[in-house]
Amino acid sequence: MPLVPTAQIMDQAVRAARGQGAFNVIHLETAQALITAAEQAAVPVILQISENCMKYHGSLAPLTLACKALAEESSAEIALHLDHAEDEALAYQAIELGFGSVMFDGAKLEFEQNVAATARVVAAAREAGVYVEAELGEIGGKDGAHAPGVRTDPQEAALFVQRTGVDALAVAVGSSHAMTERSANLDLELIDRLAQHLAVPLVLHGSSGVPDAVLQEGIRAGLRKINVSTHLNGFFTRAVRQWLDENPAGVDSRKYLAAGRSALSGEAARLLGLFAGA
């Protein structure tokens, strides 16, 4: 089916008080695996293309068009989201390309600058019916720029949402980007307070480093969109490495990429079910 609006998928998650998986696309094989996972789990999925991913591919359009084509051939509900865009122009480009949502990441800006830039993105997105996520309170680990232990202040977050009109807010509650070990603890009391203060869904970035049980507790406390990338990339890479170790003479990249795709798909399906059932 065609891509569905991110707002539709998020509204379903909010009404059901469940977690919605949002997983990063790195290349075509990732997108294929994530869509297969959604079909297997019978749960919607939000495909995310980040600014860093766009830079790797050299352009936003090719991978975007590939995700759209894959969605057309799938029975699953699939939305397309721009992740961690620090460049306003990229957010506007994603809106023009038909993304269902964009995340403008102004967390490195001063509060007033973040408000002004985010509000501009929201205004442009509203005209196109596009859902907007923003970030307040630095999340640890991203490119070494975010200090561990930083937390989002509920009152400041409520003011930010009011002044910008964003649809969802990524909050700093104890997770950290790019973790390869699942050892992070979430500030469940803070999540609960943020959920009480804000009328928009809470988004958890850096979820790869959070254990299953803690993620479920976070969802019960009020998290609604759960972003995962590094954890799934690990499944892909380990499967590729294993295939190459077992087939040292192999040169057909389709064979080891297929192994990675299959491994990622299975874990993504498991996570989608885990979040939905929390």
The catalytic residue positions are 83
Distance between CA atoms of 81 and 201, rounded to whole angstroms? Answer: 15
Q: How far is CA 13 from the centre of its chain?
A: 14
Strands (DSSP E) found in the chain? 20-24, 45-50, 78-85, 101-104, 131-136, 168-171, 202-204, 223-228
Token pair belonging to 212 = 């299953």
Distance between CA atoms of 2 and 19, rounded to whole angstroms? Answer: 23
State whether residue 9 is helix, strand or coil: helix
Distance between CA atoms of 58 and 70, rounded to whole angstroms? Answer: 21
Provide the β-strand partners of residue 134.
104, 169
Q: Nearest to residue 6, comparing CAs of 51, 44, 60, 63?
A: 44
Provide the β-strand partners of residue 226.
21, 204
